[in-house]
Amino acid sequence: MISRPASPHHKTAHLTASDYQKAAGYLRRGGLVVFPTETVYGLGADAFQADAVDSIFAAKGRPADNPLIVHLPEVSWIERVAASVPAHAELLFRRFSPGPLTLILPRLPELPAAATAGLPTVGVRIPSHPVCRKFLIACGTPVAAPSANRSGRPSPTDAAMARREMDGRVHAILDGGPCEHGLESTVALVEERRIVVLREGAVTREMMQGVLGRIPVLAPNSTAEPELSAASPGTRHAHYKPAARVVLFEAGRLSAALAEGEGSRTGVITLMKRDAAAATGGGRETQVPGGPGSRHLLRSMKSVEDYAHSLYRTFVEFDHAGCDLILAELPPAGGIGAALRDRLRRAAGQE
């Protein structure tokens, strides 16, 4: 058993993708390992080693009442952590896994309570990232993992961001390159007669409804049932926030938003119109409105997917550039736009 990274002076091994077996070795011996997924980087421990799972909460500064997602290499492993898999959960997993979907199922009593914050349920996800899959197979055990950020901050979407959050707090960081989606997975609670989305992600409500037909798929906060807020503890905590204050604006309202931010060093995120993105070959140029000497930094996203992919990294870049205000355009709500709007609203403190 390796010693726990109790202090922030732990020596962290920085591993390239081909070293996934070495990363798995740290985890099997009770260590903490940061690993890539197609959504964001995760901070993993063996779900069946209660002490290792406890140390995740310490490394992140995470409230003990916020449960972790258990990551598996394939659907056939679900019964290692879940007591039962309702037919409609199986349909969803067959259609959308491996991929960015977490389903909340009844948990097996053998699973340590720390992994699920004492809840009778467990969040299960089968990631599609190729390095992640190899890592999970090499681990040979279900891997409990939250996003690899310190609690409340934006999730890391590449290994450099993960390193800034977790260097010295974990045994190893496995580099799998930039994450494809850039926003966390869809989290959905599976009930007998309905699915309730607790967190929006790349698998949208419409996509799930398309598979399930008559079983309703409800939007987050669409019912005022107090049991549901108990069922989604993550939504009680502040999330996804850069250090700078975030203010949102509707498309075409940038000037009004800039007026509000006057006097500050401001980072601006806009979404390029489709034709403008095409005209520049979908470029991601940084312009400086107001010309040289302007204190504004501008990041133009070429599509909603690019916006989702780059949001957290842009937040962190603006923080590093000393911005105290970030003005961010609200994208249309279709596709991953719904998840993006959710994260933007939370970053702006509007949840």
Where along the sequence are the contacts to ligand TXA (CB under 6 A)? 37, 39-40, 42, 66-69, 100, 102, 104, 116, 119, 121-123, 125, 145-147, 184-185, 187, 198-199, 231-234
Is 147 among the residues that bind Mg ion (CB under 5 A)?
yes
Near Mg ion by CB under 5 A, which window of 69-77, 86-94, 142-150, 273-281? 142-150
- Please, which residue, 108 or 254, has the CB nearer to ligand TXA? 108
From the number of C-beta atoms within 10 Å of its C-beta (0-12, 13-18, 19+), residue 210 rates as exposed
Is 39 among the residues that bind Mg ion (CB under 5 A)?
no
Among ligand TXA, Mg ion, none, what does residue 145 contact (CB within 5–8 Å per kind)?
Answer: ligand TXA
Near Mg ion by CB under 5 A, which window of 139-147, 170-178, 297-305, 328-336? 139-147
- Please, which residue, 63 or 106, has the CB nearer to Mg ion? 63
Q: How far is the CB of 216 from ligand TXA (least distance, A)?
A: 19
- Please, which residue, 130 or 233, has the CB nearer to ligand TXA? 233
- Please, which residue, 116 or 266, has the CB nearer to ligand TXA? 116
- Please, which residue, 25 or 233, has the CB nearer to ligand TXA? 233
Binding site for Mg ion (CB under 5 A): 147
